[in-house]
Chain A
Amino acid sequence: MASTSNSTSSKIITLRSSDGEVFEVEESVALESNLIRRMMEDDCANNIIPLPNVTAPIFYLVIEHCKKHAEMKDNKEKKKELRSQGEELLKSDPHTYSNLMEAVNYLDIKSLMDLTAQWLADFLKGKSPRLIRELLKIKNDFTPEEEAEILERNRWAFD
């Protein structure tokens, strides 16, 4: 009963993504972001808050994760569900995952940063560079000279 009265009376924050889309988000969700919190403290709350570094599709993802994260507190099932969704995104669309992480970093949402970083770290553990490169589609941007230089720089300890 308390939740219904809360949801109707809770304040709505308006945000605009870099591609111009306008979002209305409950204050409790928006305040997960320290960036938005700081902006509101600076009295931008009555206006539309611009988020020049986050595109609409990514912002959808962030909000979705924030809500799920709020729900998952003390709920192991939800925690598992959120984790498996994150892992699925990492496997099916690693670039979107990297964009999600950068948005979370920019919006300064600590809880979500810890989660997404942990999922990725767990994903990387024990994998060979070749496999990581293949799965995350990371391009090798070393020139042969740079690679040789790095190897040379690291070899001193064993000479």
Chain B
Amino acid sequence: MLLQSFYTKQPPHTHTQTETQTDTHARTHRERERERERERMVETRKWEEMDMDCLVCIFERLNLEDLILGVPFLCKSWYQTSTNPLLWKVLDFNQLDLHPTSPFVEIFKQEYRVLKFSFTGFLKFTVNRSRRSAVELRVPSMDVTHVQLEDLAYISYECPSLKIVSLPHTLLSEVDKYFPRCIANWRDLQILHMQVKPNSFAQIVAEIGSHCKNFFELKTRGPFTFKEANAIAAWLPNIKHLHLSKCSITRESLLIILKGCKELEILDVRNCRCFDVDEEILKLSYNIKTFNYEACTTWQRFPYIF
């Protein structure tokens, strides 16, 4: 119907020169031809036969849920396209509800005939789709998304192109210990977010400093030791963004970072209630475009922070 309306709305200069306005016979003939052509097209050109480039262009605009549950089982070419590694470069599990009883997991189990769903399995399934080309991996902080040692080993080996890594709240102690060793495999790493500062933080920073040339953003949370501040200043002198809100960093540690990291553009130390922002701190942070120190005061500090 809409196609018809496009015909009738044709401005004269897009019409063919060979067609004269008075020759109605020829026109009806042409219209009949066109009608036949349309019918032929409808019969022969179908979504199943769509060019893979086209399908990739569409599918790359879908989120993980639609890519996993929506499009693969429609027809062979759509399934093939849905496994194209280009579509699995961003593995952001924050988008998904991975609880065992969530609708997503229920439908996943049903569609893929999986009896026992696990985060480890799902991680392998998606990472495998990326064929070693994943650039972003975000694991949410959910009770079901604990990263096991096996998971971390798999990610570190199968995702050598990661640029962005975001890890959840809790890291098991063996994962915490093993994590620094993964960094050497992620030479393209640029951004690392850790919801809670691991015990191996200083080692992680040292590994990043020695292996990841383009690293520019670090975000973590948790009490900061003197040693850890020193590690940042020593290993990441060129870091641009440092998000350390609620880190309860001491004044001395902050000064070490400010003196060591001269290229900082963003420094976020909100709610670090262990220091007052004095003149020395302001002077050292003068060149930082965004220095956010909201609620940084020793006056309101919590009793358990010292």
Tell me which residues across on chain B come within 8 A of A125, comparing CB atoms: 62-63, 66, 70
- Interface assignment of B69: CB less than 8 Å from any CB of chain A: yes
Which residues 83-132 in A have Cβ within 8 Å of B in the complex? 85, 88-89, 92-96, 98-99, 101-102, 105, 113-114, 117-118, 120-122, 124-129, 132
Q: How far is the CA of A145 from the CA of B27 in the complex (A)?
A: 50
Give chain A nearest CB distance to B161 CB in angstroms.
Answer: 20
B54 touches A56 (CB 8 A): no
B33 touches A19 (CB 8 A): yes
The answer to whether A57 and B58 touch (CB under 8 A), given A88-B2, A142-B75, is no
A24 touches B14 (CB 8 A): yes
B6 touches A60 (CB 8 A): yes
Q: How far is the CA of A155 from the CA of B124 in the complex (A)?
A: 10
> How many residues on the A side are at the interface (Cβ–Cβ under 8 A)?
59
- Interface assignment of A63: CB less than 8 Å from any CB of chain B: yes
Q: What secondary structure prevails in chain A residues at the interface with B?
A: helix
- Interface assignment of B21: CB less than 8 Å from any CB of chain A: no
The answer to whether A101 and B50 touch (CB under 8 A), given A60-B14, A63-B14, A158-B118, is yes
Q: Closest residue of chain A to B71, judged by CB? A: A124
Could you give 14 example pairs across A and B, Cβ below 8 Å? A22-B18, A24-B17, A57-B41, A60-B7, A92-B1, A95-B46, A99-B41, A113-B57, A120-B58, A125-B63, A129-B70, A138-B46, A146-B76, A156-B124
Give me the interface of A with B, judged by CB distance under 8 Å.
Answer: 12, 19, 21-26, 55-58, 60-61, 63-64, 85, 88-89, 92-96, 98-99, 101-102, 105, 113-114, 117-118, 120-122, 124-129, 132-133, 136-142, 146, 150-151, 154-158
Given contact pairs A96-B41, A113-B57, A124-B58, enumerate 8 new A-B contacts (beta carbons under 8 Å): A23-B15, A60-B14, A61-B6, A93-B2, A101-B54, A105-B53, A124-B66, A125-B66
